[in-house]
Amino acid sequence: MNDAAHPPEAAASRDFVAALRGAAPYIHAHNGRVFVVAFGGETALRPDFEQLIYDIALLHSLGVKLVLVHGVRPQIEQQLAARGQKPQFAGDLRITDAAAMECVKAAVGGLRMDIEAKLSTGLASTPMGGARLKVSGGNWVTARPVGIRDGVDHQLTGEVRRVDIASIRDVLAQDRIALLSPIGYSPTGEIFNLRAGDVAQSVATGLAADKLIFVLDSAPDRWQLADETGDAGQLPLGEAERLLAASPAPVSISAEDRALLQSALAAGRGGVKRVHLIGADPHGALLRELYTRDGCGLMFYSDENYESVREASIEDIGGILALIKPLEDSGVLVPRSREQLELEISFFDVMVRDGTVIACSALFPFPQNQMGEFSCVAVHPDYRRSGRAEALLRRAEETARKLGLKQLFSLTTHTPHWFIEHGFVQGRIEDLPMQKQRIYNYQRRSIVLLKDL
Ligand SMILES: CC(C)(COP(=O)(O)OP(=O)(O)OC[C@H]1O[C@@H](n2cnc3c(N)ncnc32)[C@H](O)[C@@H]1OP(=O)(O)O)[C@@H](O)C(=O)NCCC(=O)NCCS
């Protein structure tokens, strides 16, 4: 290639257009969704905090309905130090006496104003030019005292009792950003100091938010837990819980992050479909996590529909045969004998409900070609259109990545559009591994579909 014909600006514009086009499916998917974004007081102290605010403003402009929850721990420490007071903790939980509450009020008020000021930036010289964000807050969180635990009175440290979800929904419906501080009020007129993670969890669960995103001062993608997720950084909730329980106090996770992790898992159990943990960095971690395929943090997904997904065993053969027989009879799936299924069973995943196989799929690796065949995907007619096949595909993709495969392929006669809607593109018979080309059935004339991993 000639440099004069392809100046660097041209390459940069191509990269820009490619990146924007690559983001398009995510922009469409996130438009109108409710995301709760929680960040600690440490993040607000970072010199690059403005970048996070700019990215939050961009999310809002891209149609995401945003609830922000901020923490305030280091700011409280600063206030205590300025007044010559010592912080008091019981374990990881602050004890808030009346004097400490004055510090909490000053810290929360100060940080809230700083955040609101940053969200109000409108200079054309910043990415906020033209954003004109409207931010709302209110007495939405009702709190109760943590009380006396292990003989220690936590005084004005509280926990969430309920959240006024209807009012937050009203704010979101008016295209405003809801900003919550880690503070709650009680019916007795007291103020309580809360954990930001608890507030974020309660509000995300109450809203049945599409996503809860924790922006952490540490880098969750470097946690030991992240190693278990492979490249994708995604874990079903049940798996995350199992791993955390199995590894008591993984060294790479601080007590504070661990508490956030517990809030993240509780939100997932409470019905939030996706919980993301990302590091605060100046390079747009939030945007990369939400608008690129690979993301950059850790994600837990609710396994409500997936909890019964597992590798198939020999006992599942009867159930798989019962599921696929009608599809074989109608020519949708290629017939498989019981013997063939017995040989191939280790390549199958099944979704089981009340002991019945309600969905299955298979992933046959072709390691020499770094390809895998995603096949025999079937969902019982009573359980279709709830994302089950998609969940099986995602699981197959994770397995394929772990096996070092670079591409999936599928052969179908009846269902090409389902595959195309899930990221496959039409290919040619010559794109298949040679082994597969040799047995390609020219009468059946299946369509070849390919998906890069
Ligand atoms: C294709 C199949 C596996 C999808 O299962 P599912 O759990 O319902 O899939 P999901 O919930 O992830 O996706 C549902 C979407 O796929 C669409 N879909 C289902 N079959 C489709 C087809 N043949 N062509 C195009 N779209 C299809 C549904 O209409 C639905 O989209 P919508 O709600 O926007 O209308 C299921 O319909 C099935 O078992 N079909 C028979 C077997 C088969 O064709 N297998 C593939 C060949 S290997």
Phi-psi region of 249 (alpha: psi -120 to 50; beta: other; left: phi over 0): left
Report, at the CATH architecture level, how domain 309-452 is classified: 3-Layer(aba) Sandwich (3.40)
Nearest CA to ligand 1 atom 36: 379
437 Cα–ligand 1 center, Å:
26
377 lines ligand 1 (CB under 6 A): yes
Instruction: Kindly state if the Cβ of 263 falls inside 6 Å of ligand 1.
Output: no
Confidence at residue 306, expressed as pLDDT on a 0 to 100 scale? 43
Helix axes 98-119, 73-82, angle to 10 degrees: 120
Ligand 1 centroid distance, CA of 385 (Å): 7
Residue 294 to residues 12, 21, 35, 285: CA-CA distances in angstroms? Answer: 21, 15, 19, 11
Half-sphere exposure of 371 (CA within 13 A, CB side): 16
What token pair was written down for 208? 């049945």
Distance between CA atoms of residues 276 and 113, nearest Å: 26
Q: Is the CB of 415 under 6 A from ligand 1?
A: yes
Nearest to 43 by CA among 375, 221, 342, 286: 286
**287 sits in which H/E element:** helix 285-291
From ligand 1's centre to the CA of 329, what distance in Å?
Answer: 18
Radius of gyration of the chain (CA): 26
Tokens of residue 107, six digits: 């810290």
Give the pLDDT of residue 241: 75
Nearest to 308, CA basis, from 272, 266, 344, 359: 359
β-bridge pairing 34-39 and 177-180: unpaired
| Cα 319 to ligand 1 centre (Å) | 20
Q: Indicate the length of the chain as a whole number.
A: 453
β-bridge pairing 148-149 and 152-153 = antiparallel
Contact indicator for 360, 310 with CB cutoff of 8 Å: no
Task: State in Å, rounded, how far the first CA of the chain is from the last one.
Answer: 28
Tell whether ligand 1 has an atom less than 6 A from the beta carbon of residue 360. no
Q: 28 C-alpha vs ligand 1 centroid, how far in Å? A: 21
Q: 394: Cβ below 6 Å to ligand 1?
A: no
Half-sphere exposure of 420 (CA within 13 A, CB side): 11
Query: From the CA of 412, how far away is ligand 1's center (Å)?
Result: 12
Top mutation candidate among 373, 384, 397, 426 for ligand 1, by most atoms within 8 Å of CB = 384
Evaluate whether 194 touches 143 at the Cβ level (below 8 Å).
Answer: yes
> In the prediction, which pLDDT does 255 show?
67
Query: What pLDDT is attached to residue 355?
Result: 64
Angle at 384 between CA 205 and CA 381, to 5 degrees: 145
Q: Does the domain made of 31-301 have the CATH classification 3.40.50.150?
A: no
Residue with tokens 């898992």: 265
Cβ of 269 less than 6 Å from ligand 1? no
| Ligand 1 pocket residue status of 378, Cβ below 6 Å | yes
Residue matched to tokens 């392929």: 409
CB 432: neighbour CB atoms within 10 A? Answer: 21
What are the residue ranges of helices labelled H in 332-448? 338-344, 388-402, 416-421, 434-438
Of residues 234, 222, 394, 386, the one with CA closest to residue 301: 234
List of residues 6+ apart from 381 with CB closer than 8 A: none
Are the C-beta atoms of residues 351 and 308 closer than 8 Å to each other? yes
Helix or strand or coil: residue 306?
Answer: coil
SS (H, E, C) 322-340: HHHHHHHHCCCCCCCCHHH
CA 141 vs. chain centroid, Å, equals 25
Q: What is the pLDDT of residue 217?
A: 82
Predicted pLDDT of residue 305:
47
At 247, give phi and psi (nearest 5°): -115, 90
Question: Can you give the pLDDT at residue 301?
Answer: 79
Run of H or E including 256: helix 255-269
Question: Is 86 touching ligand 1 by the criterion CB < 6 Å?
Answer: no
Task: Give the count of beta carbons closer than 10 Å to the beta carbon of residue 150.
Answer: 6
- What are the boundaries of each domain within the chain? 31-301, 309-452
Query: Rounded to an integer, what distance in angstroms lies between the CA atom of residue 244 and that of residue 258?
Result: 9
Q: Is the CB of 380 under 6 A from ligand 1?
A: no
Q: What is the pLDDT along the chain (453 residues), one digit of tens a residue?
A: 444 556 677 888 888 898 888 888 889 889 999 999 999 999 999 999 999 999 999 999 999 999 999 999 999 999 999 999 999 998 888 999 999 999 999 999 999 999 999 999 877 777 878 878 999 999 999 999 998 888 889 999 999 999 999 999 999 999 999 999 999 999 999 999 999 999 999 999 999 999 999 998 877 776 666 666 555 577 777 777 777 766 555 446 666 777 788 898 889 878 888 899 998 887 889 999 899 876 778 888 775 544 468 899 888 898 899 999 999 998 889 999 999 999 999 999 999 875 678 899 999 999 999 999 999 999 988 788 878 899 999 999 999 999 999 999 999 988 999 999 999 999 999 999 999 999 999 888 999 999 999
Is 279 strand, coil or helix?
Answer: strand
